[in-house]
Amino acid sequence: MSPLSLLLVFAVSAPALAERPPPNPDPRPMGPPDPHLDALAGASDLGDWAVSLEAGFPFFGARGQVALPWAGLNAVGSVNSALFTDTWALGGVSKRWVDTHRVVLSGEILVGGTIRSGDLSRRGPASQTTLRLARGHGRVVPALTLSSRHVLLTDVQEIQTAEGDVVQRSRSIAWSPVASFDVGVGVCPGFAVSAGLDVPWFDPPGFSLPGAHINLIVGGWK
Amino acid sequence: MSRFFLLLSLSPLVGCVNSRTQWVEVTVTTELIAPEGLSAPVYGEWNHTWSGEGELRVPLLPFEDFAAEGPGLVTTTLLVPLDGVEGLTLYAWMDLDGDGLHCAPGVTDEPAGLGEALPFPATEADVTLSLDAPCLGAEALWDGG
């Protein structure tokens, strides 16, 4: 049985674990937060936070978010690695742009850095722009994530000449988009799991293998 | 917690350089010596004498074309990497029939030679190349370094 099927069976067979009050469509339901919705939607309500731990192929990582008291923003920190050879550490802000009873759409801008080891090693400051679309608000939350990653690569050439040493710098930008589809399931208040598929595209136009992952999600509120 | 995220995001910024490579700009004075009475354009290639490491270490890796109007002194400026390579060696041959090919079928007399530029690494080096080996390739002239 696949992990996704296991999650769905669990969600159907344990309805009493997370009985929730009737949804309040304007603007968010009352009661405890949905950590899986918050994590998959990319932003929490004021006073809420969510942390997710991801394991799979090729990605492993951790992501945390906490609502800030300004303009509906969330502070976000993320560490993500593809097979522990292509690691990204990013921090930034996210915000829910659309938040209805049925749909949550959020945007996210992160900056930080990346280090890749091996024959295709590279490092540099990086950014990630992400759109997250989640179907809320319920025990089962499907979500689509589209990310665009950029790395600024600075290459330095130190040249010995007869007139003295010369240093030349060249800069380029590497782009790596990633798409993910997740299904999150609330297990109990403050705890959820999700499973998903990843379609990374490392260094286009080269082809990259798709992947899959599972997430453990915890969340809290003030 | 937000302070943790701030530190997390700033930590990888230390060391923003993707790669750092070292090069030397070498002005090489080449003396081309041809068999007596022969004069024709000379073509060839500059090689890294050695490149690679371990089992992948190989001699004579071409990286730049060479051309001269004929025997005599020729000055060339090359930009040579210093990472993963050693030495600077010139292979050249004389194009007696003017076809741009070294010893095309039916041609057996176009002389070739191989010589190492010294000192290296340095910004100025010299190499003397005797074109005295008809129709031999660089690997046939290589004496093992």
Specify which residues A107 forms β-bridges with.
Answer: A95, A131
Q: Cα(A111)–Cα(B9) distance, rounded to whole angstroms? A: 7
Average pLDDT estimate for A31-39 = 68
Cis omega (within 30 of 0) for bond into A125: no
Q: B17-33 and A140-161: which strand pairing?
A: parallel
Percent of chain A topping pLDDT 70? 84
The domain tally of chain B equals 1
| pLDDT tens for each residue of A83-95 | 999 999 999 999 9
Fold of A33-219: Lipocalin (2.40.128)
Which residues of chain A does B9 touch, with a Cβ-Cβ cutoff of 8 Å? 77, 89-92, 110-112
Give residue B66's domain range.
Answer: 19-141
**Is B5 within 8 Å of A123 when comparing Cβ atoms?**
no
* Rg from Cα positions in chain A: 20
Decide if B6 is inside a domain: no
**Is A123 within 8 Å of B16 when comparing Cβ atoms?**
yes
Question: Given this model, what pLDDT does residue A179 score?
Answer: 95
Decide if B1 is inside a domain: no
Amino acid at B56: L
Question: Given this model, what pLDDT does residue A215 score?
Answer: 94
Decide if B2 is inside a domain: no
Decide if B11 is inside a domain: no
Which residues of chain B does A86 touch, with a Cβ-Cβ cutoff of 8 Å? none
Percent of chain B topping pLDDT 70? 89
Q: Cα(A127)–Cα(A161) distance, rounded to whole angstroms? A: 37
ipTM of the complex: 0.77
Least confident among A25-34, A160-169, B30-39: A25-34
Average pLDDT estimate for A44-71 = 92
Average pLDDT estimate for B44-52 = 96
Average pLDDT estimate for B57-62 = 95
Question: Given this model, what pLDDT does residue A4 score?
Answer: 41
A221 pLDDT band (50/70/90 cuts)? low
Q: Cα(B139)–Cα(B60) distance, rounded to whole angstroms? A: 8
**pLDDT over 90 at A57, yes or no:** yes
Q: Cα(B117)–Cα(B30) distance, rounded to whole angstroms? A: 8
**pLDDT over 80 at B143, yes or no:** yes
Which residues of chain A does B75 touch, with a Cβ-Cβ cutoff of 8 Å? none
B15 pLDDT band (50/70/90 cuts)? low
**Is B13 within 8 Å of A68 when comparing Cβ atoms?**
no
Selected residue with higher pLDDT from A126 and A135: A126
Decide if B62 is inside a domain: yes
Least confident among A10-24, A201-215, B126-140: A10-24
Least confident among A7-21, A144-158, B37-51, B86-100: A7-21
Nearest CA distance, B80 vs chain A (angstrom): 9
**pLDDT over 60 at B139, yes or no:** yes
Question: Given this model, what pLDDT does residue B59 score?
Answer: 95
Instruction: Give me the helices (H) in B1-127, please.
Output: 2-10
**pLDDT over 60 at B115, yes or no:** yes
Q: Residue B69: CB partners within 8 Å, gap ≥ 6?
A: B41, B42
Asked whether the beta carbons of A212 and A196 are under 8 A apart, the reply is: yes
Average pLDDT estimate for A173-183 = 94
**pLDDT over 70 at A33, yes or no:** no
What's chain A's average pLDDT?
Answer: 84
Average pLDDT estimate for B125-137 = 95
B84: domain CATH number is: 2.60.40
Question: Given this model, what pLDDT does residue A30 score?
Answer: 41
Nearest CA distance, B1 vs chain A (angstrom): 8
**pLDDT over 60 at A64, yes or no:** yes
* Rg from Cα positions in chain B: 22
Helix (H), strand (E) at residue B105: none
Minimal CA–CA distance to A125: which of B7, B20, B16, B5? B16
**pLDDT over 60 at A3, yes or no:** no
A219 pLDDT band (50/70/90 cuts)? confident
Average pLDDT estimate for A176-200 = 91
Question: Given this model, what pLDDT does residue B4 score?
Answer: 46
Decide if B99 is inside a domain: yes
Which residues of chain B does A91 touch, with a Cβ-Cβ cutoff of 8 Å? 5-6, 8-10
**pLDDT over 60 at A158, yes or no:** yes
Going from N- to C-terminal start, the domains of chain A cover 33-219
Q: Residue B126: CB partners within 8 Å, gap ≥ 6?
A: B28, B29, B30, B31, B117, B118
